[in-house]
Structure 1
C-alpha cells in the first residue's frame, strides 16, 4: 500500500478503536453473564411440579382473571408460554401502552392455574445488566448510541485487518516475539487474538447494532403492515368487552397447524392494533422458534382477520437477537461465546496498552510500511 493509504487506514483504526473501546469493554463485561441469562434465570426460578404432563391446559381467560386479581386496576397486555408449556405468564399494566419497565407479571401453572412465586422480569441483577448492556438506562437514545459503537467496532476490526493482514502472512501464525520488547509482544498478542476472534467479533458487533434498532423497526412494521388492517376500524373506539382469548388462540392454532403460540398481544399494545388479538405463532425447533407468524383475531367477534407475513427486516431482527448471545446451539455454543468474549476483552485491553505506549503517527506508519515490505516488526 502507498504511505498515504497506510496512514489513512491507521488513523481510521486508531480513532474508531479509541472511541468505542470503553463502551465495548462495558458491553463485553455485561454481556458475559447475559450469555447465560437463561441458565441463571432457571436457577432463580421456583420449582414447579408437573406430575401430569398430559393434564389439560386451564382456560386462558381464567388465567388472565387470576393475574388481574393479583394486580387490581391493571389491564392485560400480553400472555405467553414457556418453551415446555408448563407455565403461563401474564403481563399487566395500568394502561394499554405501559412500557416494559413498568409492567407487572404473574406466573401461573398452565394446568392448575396456581400462582407460581417468581421475580419480576424487570427487576434484579440480570435486568440491571441487560439495561446497562442495551441502552444505558436512557431508552432509545442509549440504544442508538450503543448501535453506533457496534458499527465503529466493526470498522475498527476491518481496518485492523487491512493494516496487519499482509504483515501477519509473513510470520508463522501465533508468533509472539517476546525477546525484543514488551510493546512488541503486546502488539503480536493483540494481532493474533484479534484474528482469532475476527469472525465472531464482526457477527456479534453487527447483530448488536441491528438489535439496537429493534424499536424503530417494530414501529415501522406496526405503522405499515398493521396500519393496513387498523384502517378498516377507523373511527371505532377500542373495544372494552373482548371475545374469548381461549377461543382466539384455538382459532390461531387451527390457522397455523404446524406452529405453536408463543405469546398473545392484547388490543392497544401496539403489536396488533386497537381491535385485534395478535396471536404470535412460532416454530417447533431452536431455529424456527424465532420465526414468528402473527395471526390477527378480531377482539370483538373472535374471527380470523389476517395472517400477515413479517417483512424481511423483521425476520433479520428476530434471527439476529439470539445469535448475538449464542442462543442457537445450547450450552456448548454459549461456552464458546463466553470464551470469545473473554478473548475480545483481552484484545481491547491490549489495544489500550499499545495506545498508551504509542509513538508518533508518522513513526507508526513507517513501522507498518516497513513490516509490510520486510515482514519485520510493526
Structure 2
C-alpha cells in the first residue's frame, strides 16, 4: 500500500471511529443486559409465570381473554394480543386509550382459564425499559433511531478501514501479537488491533443488523403505503364498519389458512400492523428460523372473512432476520454467551481506541510525516505509532 493510500485510509478510520465511538459504547453497554432480558426479568421478578393448575386444561376462548383484560380498564381499547412460543399458557393483552396512543397498559391473562394473572411492568420494568429505549432510539423516537443508524454506518466504515490498515501493520508481526515488553501505549494499541481483527466479522454483522433495525419504522410505513395498500384496494374510501367479528374465530380462520403455523400476535384494526378494517393476525413457524419469519393474515373485522394472507416483501424479511441476529436470539444460551463475550470485547476495543486517541501526544502531531515513511519501517507502521485506532 502506498504512503498516500495509507494516509487516506488512516484518516477515514480515525474520524469514522472517533465520531461513532461514544454512541457505540453506549449501545454495547445497553445491549449487554438486553441479550439476557428474559433471565434478568426472572431475576427481577418482572417475568410473568403461568399459574400451575391441578389438571391440564385446553386453551379457552380468546374473546373471553380480551374481555377479562378489559374488565380492569373498561374505557381502554385492545391494541394487540400476543403469545410467546415457549409460554403458550399466557396471552399478553395490550390496551391503550386510543389507536395512536403508545402509553400501553399490558395485561397477562391465563390462556386456559381466561382469567387475569397480573399487570406486568411494561418492557420488563424501569431498568430494562430504560436500557431498551437508550439502545433503540435514545428516547428520541424516529430521529433517534435514524441517528443511531448513521452511527452504525460509521462503525461499518471504521471496521472496513481498520481491516485495510491491519495488513501493513502485521506484515512484520505474528497474528495477534501483543508486545507487552514495549511501552504501555503500544501494548494497548496491539490489544486494540488484535481484538478488532478477531471480532471483525461479529462487529460487522451486529453493526449491519443494528443499522437495518433502525429503519424498521420507515420500512413498515413504506409497506403500508405500497404493498398493503394494493392488497386493500377494495376497501379504499370505505368507512370502517364496527369490529363485530369474533377475534377467536378470526384466529381460527388464520390457522385454517396457514396450517402448521402458530399465532404470534394479533393487531387490532387501526394499529400500525393492520388496517382500519382488519385484524392483522401474524403467524410464524416452530423452528429457530421460521419462528422469526412472520406471515400476516388479514381477516375482515366486521364480517370475519379472510381477505388475504400475503407474503411479506424481501425488505421486511431482511428486517425480521436481522432483529434476533442482532441480539443473538437464535441459538439458545451458548449463542447468548458468545454474544455477551464479543460485546465485552467490543467495549474494550472502544475504550482502548479512546485511550489511544487521548494519549496520542506528540505522535498525533507527527502522524502525517510518519505515515509518509511507513513503508520504510520494520515493525510498527505509521498509523499505529500515531495512536489512531485500527
- Normalising by the smaller structure, the TM-score range is over 0.9
Deviation at 1:360, TM superposition (A): 5.2
Deviation at 1:106, TM superposition (A): 0.8
The answer for the alignment partner of 1:95 in structure 2 is: 98
114, 126, 129: which one aligns with 2:128: 126
1:109 aligns with 2:110: yes
TM-aligned CA distance change 1:214 to 1:112, over 3 Å:
same
| 2:327 counterpart of 1:305 | no
Show the counterpart of 2:173. Answer: 171
Aligned 8 A contact 2:81 2:267 in 1: yes
The answer for the alignment partner of 2:280 in structure 1 is: 278
- After superposition, where does 1:317-356 map in structure 2 within 5 Å? 317-356=319-358
CA distance in 2, matches of 1:225, 1:46: 37
How many Å separate the matches in 2 of 1:368 and 1:333?
41
- What's the secondary structure of 1:89's corresponding residue? strand
1:289 aligns with 2:272: no
Aligned length: 376
The aligned residue for residue 42 of structure 1 is: 42
Structure 2's unaligned 5+ residue stretches are 382-390
CA distance in 2, matches of 1:305, 1:212: 31
Following superposition, the deviation at residue 51 of structure 1 comes to 3.5
Q: Which moved more, 1:139-148 or 1:179-188?
A: 179-188
Is the contact between residue 230 and residue 275 of structure 1 (CA under 8 Å) also seen in structure 2? no
Evaluate the alpha carbon distance shift between residue 89 and residue 230 of structure 1 in structure 2; reply closer, same or farther with a 3 A threshold. same
1:116 is paired with a residue of what secondary structure? strand
Distance 2:243 2:229 in 1: 22
Q: Is the 8 A contact 2:35 2:336 kept in 1?
A: yes
Give unmatched runs, 5+ long, in structure 1.
Answer: none
Q: Using the alignment, how far apart are the partners of 2:371 and 2:170 within structure 1? A: 11
1:368 deviates by 5.1
Per the TM alignment, residue 7 of structure 1 is displaced from its structure 2 partner at its CA by 1.1
- Deviation digits for residues 292-311 of structure 1, max 9, x if unmatched? 00011111111111011100
- Residues 281/228 of structure 1: CA separation in 2 closer, same or farther (3 Å cut): same
For 1:75 and 1:261, locate their aligned partners in 2 and report how far apart those are by CA, in whole Å: 21
Q: Which residue of 1 is the match for residue 384 of structure 2?
A: none
Correspondence for 1:264: 266
Aligned-pair CA distance for 1:365: 4.5
The Cα offsets for residues 305-349 of structure 1, whole Å up to 9 and x where unpaired, read as 101110000000001000001000111111111111111111111
- The match for 2:24 is 24
Question: 1:375 Cα deviation (Å)?
Answer: 4.0
Q: Does 1:231 align with 2:233?
A: yes
- Maintained 8 Å contact 2:3/2:373: no
What do the CA deviations read for 1:173-209 (whole angstroms, capped 9, x no partner)?
2211122322211111110011111111111111101
Q: Which moved further from structure 2: 353-362 or 71-80? A: 353-362
Q: Is contact 2:48-2:120 (8 Å) kept?
A: no
Choose the corresponding residue for 1:182, options 180, 184, 187: 184
Structure 1 residues 279 and 46: CA distance shift in structure 2, 3 A? closer
SS in 2 for 1:124: helix
Within a 5 Å distance, the mapping from 1:118-267 to structure 2 comes to 118-122=119-123, 123-267=125-269
- Give 1:62 shift: 0.9
Deviation of 1:374 after TM superposition, in Å, equals 4.8
**Superposition deviation, residue 241 in structure 1:** 3.5
For 1:83 and 1:159, the matched residues in 2 are separated by 41
**TM-score (ref. length: structure 1):** 0.95
The answer to whether the Cα contact below 8 Å between 1:91 and 1:103 also exists between their aligned partners in 2 is yes
- Whether the 8 Å contact between 1:242 and 1:300 is mirrored in structure 2 is yes
